[in-house]
Homo-oligomer: A and B are copies of this chain.
Amino acid sequence: MLEARFGETLLLKKIVDALKEIISQSTLDCTETGMQLQSMDNSHVSLVALSLQTEGFEKYRCDRNVSLGLDLKSLAKVVKSASGDDAVTLTAADKADKLLLSFESDNKSRTADYELKLLNLDQDHLGIPETNYACIVQMPSSEFARICRDMSMFSESVVISCTKQGIKFSANGDMGSANIKLSDTSKGDITIDVDEPITQSFAGRYLNTFTRATPLSDRVKICLAPDVPLLVEYPIEDYGYIRYYLAPKVDEADA
């Protein structure tokens, strides 16, 4: 039996929002050590991986591994109906065909219980190899979201260049071109860690969907290395992280 309690529904809401634009259905694997979800996006180009450790939960118990096949749009609807500061408990039997979500307000006079039907999903898990990234940039997640949005006005492709001096985002299209440069600042807003400089090109619309995770974290980590997918990571305090992977565009990456 699984029983997992989030102190605030708002966090679950943000997690679901960060997933639901990218994947419509996915399996949440629950074990003694926490919850994991891994899935290619609907068009099989990017990959999203969620990891929630038991430490973050107000209560967590999972006697036996259980895989929950979720329809994320349905889950989003249910979660949206709760107040952000309600607590929410997820409960499922060992061989569950439904997930129970129980919301509790501070004022105990109201209880709201939702049963969501579970799906039977085939799902291959991709091994994600450990990578030594050539460049690691940490920056405010809101700034990254804004840059991704601005680049999309100019072109479908975004070129990311990273050197010891800073990180540059560029887009070039019919309307003109855009260049936004960020440099390491004394304030520590942006930290740039470069072993070797790198320039790669990415499909902007995937970057934009990744930024749906912005409300989950003030900071985002961007990791680049030659010939491996870009990693964009949003830490989730106490719980773990949500990570997005996107392969560089081959024909434009050798700038």
Q: List A residues at the B interface (Cβ < 8 Å).
A: 71, 74, 77-78, 81, 98, 107, 109-117, 143, 146, 149-150, 153, 174-185, 187, 189-190
- Chain B residue contacts of A117, Cβ below 8 A: 174-176
Copies of the chain in the assembly: 3
- Contact status A176-B110, CB under 8 Å: no
- Chain B residue contacts of A185, Cβ below 8 A: 107, 109
- Contact status A190-B109, CB under 8 Å: yes
- Contact status A74-B187, CB under 8 Å: no
Bound complex: CA of A189 vs CA of B108, how far in Å?
12
Which of B115, B183, B189, B190 lies in contact with A176, CB distance below 8 A?
A: B115
- Contact status B114-A81, CB under 8 Å: no
* A–B complex contacts, Cβ < 8 Å, 12 sampled: A74-B175, A78-B153, A81-B146, A107-B187, A109-B190, A111-B181, A112-B150, A112-B178, A112-B179, A112-B180, A113-B178, A116-B175
